[in-house]
A and B are shown apart, each in its own frame.
Chain A
Amino acid sequence: MVQIKAGTKLFSAVCDTQIMVLRVPSDDLDVTCGGLPMQAEEAEEKSAMTGEAGEGSLVGKRYVDEEETMEFLCTRGGEGNISVNGVALEVKQAKRLPSSD
Chain B
Amino acid sequence: MTVDFRRVIRPVAIGTIALLTEYALLGTQQFANALTLGAIYALIALGYTMVYGIVELINFAHGDIFMVGSFLAMWIMTTVLGLSGPVTNLLNLVGLLSIVMFATMVGMGFIGMFIERFAYRPLRHAPRLAPLITAIGVSFILQNIISSLFGPSPVNVPQIVPLDKFAFMGGKIGYLNVFMVVLAVVLMIALQLFVGRTRLGRAMRSTAQDREAAELMGVDINQTIAITFFIAAALAGAGGVIQGLYFGSIKFDLGFFVGLKAFTAAVLGGIGNTTGAAIGGFIIAFVEVYATVLGYTQWSEVAVFTVLILVLVFRPSGLLGQQLGERA
Whether A and B are associated in the same complex: the answer reads no
Partner-B contacts on A (CB < 8 A): none
Residues of B within 8 A of A (CB): none
